[in-house]
Structure 1
């Protein structure tokens, strides 16, 4: 089984590994990142797979997003993955939150994924799988918050989960499935060296969820291993 997938944030980490795994399986991969000329691992991947193409995209540059959507007009998308994200300053405690940074986190993690779905809705409607996978985080779960803090990142992912739920409802009649995905604590630049799992393990799980998404799973929040996470 193969098709066409568009993935954001492919310059490193989860996005890069996702592009690698789907390309290896014969999918047509449309990989995007802000600065492809500086993404040497993605460039090497592009040279290795003729079925992978790279496009420039800053997910918060909505004019650039519209241009990319225009350039891909008429091309069916089977899977759309919103992977690009931003944690913001780490170790920020109560009373020391930078509101400008908070706005930046919300823009990248919450608003941009919605705009991505909006831009590529026609392509998804023309696809076979019709799946939108949005990378969320378990720290966005209100039920799971036992430690407090993390105001910027937590709130951006909690709000993102609400976007996922609404998209799942609004796009149901068109057969488009939308899922929120927690990749696990992954050994990436964001996750750090003490994280518990590799990008390969995380993406293998995410890939299975994307390929097996159904009307029943749409609008739900999943851990990379398939377990449902409470909102």
Structure 2
């Protein structure tokens, strides 16, 4: 919503991580255009030129510095945003880690880093912002996972670091969906597709905008019975 229109429309409210580029930036833009208030987080706001450029069009955007591996910073941001009522939280921040390694050459330090970003941080954010999500009538908690985290879909082996981080994230989301069901909070894991981003590479099949639009549509159509599902960006249910 642009500055002229925003004053007359009540906003739904989104918190999103990793909003400075790729799918995160595309999602942020879509929700702003749909009239949402967006709290967008990234590690280095000063260098997030494309994200900062949106503030000249949308006064419903606030940008926050956040390293999702800094749990004290997550708590501090939750305190700062204590009065928010989030209709939706999207944990988009992610890290692939090393590529091209084989069995016997796994970098354990990188594995810990990937798990910290892809698995630990999403649960920490869910815990830290639980109150705001509950206040959002209640809201939806969505985490961007990956089909490579599917046990059923793994027919090629390898990829130990990234695969395990997303499989573990799926387990986190499934447990969240059960634990938060009595409060009406919906929790889902989302596969964005193979996207042409810095992580996905140039050979990927779809653009960030295509992925974001699909995810936007899937999230808009969620019902309580969808909580705990692993969903593709086109709405297809994926196997664990």
TM-score (norm: length of structure 1): 0.98
CA distance in 2, matches of 1:154, 1:46: 36
Count of aligned residue pairs for this structure pair? 231
1:51 maps onto 2:60 in alignment:
yes
1:112 aligns with 2:121: yes
Inter-partner Cα distance in structure 2 for 1:126 and 1:29: 16
CA offsets 1:6-40 (integer angstroms, 9 cap, x no match): 00001100000000000011100110000000111
Contact persistence 1:7–1:15 (CA under 8 A): yes
Structure 1 unaligned regions, length at least 5: none
User: Is 1:216 matched up with 2:225?
Assistant: yes
Q: Which runs of 5+ in 2 are unaligned?
A: 1-9
Q: Determine if the alignment matches structure 1 residue 199 to structure 2 residue 208.
A: yes
- Cα RMSD for the two superposed structures: 1.0
User: In the alignment, does 2:14 pair up with 1:5?
Assistant: yes
Q: Is the 8 A contact 1:23 1:49 kept in 2?
A: yes
2:172 is aligned, of 163, 172, 175, to: 163
CA contact (8 A) 1:113 1:134 kept: yes
Aligned position for 2:162: 153
| Secondary structure in structure 2 of the residue aligned to 1:195 | coil
Segments ≥4 residues shifted beyond 4 Å: none
Aligned to 1:157, the other structure's residue is in SS state: helix
Partners in 2 of 1:129 and 1:44 — Cα distance? 31
Q: Secondary structure at 1:216's aligned position in 2?
A: helix
Q: 2:137 aligns with which of 122, 125, 128?
A: 128
